[in-house]
């Protein structure tokens, strides 16, 4: 089934871009990034940036933007059955327009991938289209906040995210 993503959440002064792969079913239904209540994303953002799940979505996203944190997905669209990243059909991936995004957000210095699939899709589908390799954007793959990534306890996910995003 074809799935289309959301526009980025980003202020012009953003310095950090957190990238997922593609919104899941519940996120698509609600029109919100990381809407699945068992996903640890907003809990982590609450601890790090005061953008926790207890706040209205618009407040959470505004707090991230104010903190210089941008949020987007690698895929603008792709075929996927269900919500799991593993079900994304690689051949169907249409990446977001990262050259335009980086031109409009020149202060981005860190790409933080929410899980290995986002990192893999970015390197395979986006890196080849980025002509300006001189832009010093560091990339780091963080543990997926998805409840499907249950092998790592939530406290360990928090520790790893905090270590990268607070340094």
- Please give the positions annotated as active site: 39
CB 21 within 8 A of CB 93: no
DSSP state of 95: E
Strand residues in 51-147 grouped as ranges (E) = 69-73, 75-79, 94-95, 110-114, 138-142
CB 14 within 8 A of CB 86: no
Q: Give the integer Cα–Cα distance in Å for 104 and 11.
A: 10
Q: Give the integer Cα–Cα distance in Å for 91 and 10.
A: 28
Q: Give the integer Cα–Cα distance in Å for 42 and 23.
A: 14
């Amino acid at each position: 089934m074809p799935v289309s993503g959301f526009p980025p959440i980003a202020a012009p002064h953003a310095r950090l871009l957190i990238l997922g792969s593609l919104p899941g079913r519940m996120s698509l239904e609600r029109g919100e990034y990381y809407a699945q209540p068992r996903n640890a994303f907003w809990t982590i953002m609450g601890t790090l940036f005061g953008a926790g799940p207890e706040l209205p979505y618009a407040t959470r996203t505004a707090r991230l933007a104010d903190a210089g944190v941008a949020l987007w997905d690698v895929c603008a669209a792709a075929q996927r059955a269900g919500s799991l990243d593993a079900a994304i059909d690689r051949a169907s991936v249409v990446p977001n327009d990262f050259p335009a995004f980086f031109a409009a957000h020149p202060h981005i210095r860190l790409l933080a991938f929410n899980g290995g699939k986002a990192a893999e899709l970015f390197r395979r589908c986006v890196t080849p289209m980025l002509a300006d390799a001189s832009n010093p954007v560091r990339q780091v793959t963080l543990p997926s906040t998805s409840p499907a990534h249950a092998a790592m306890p939530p406290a360990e996910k928090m520790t790893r995210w905090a270590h990268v995003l607070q340094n």
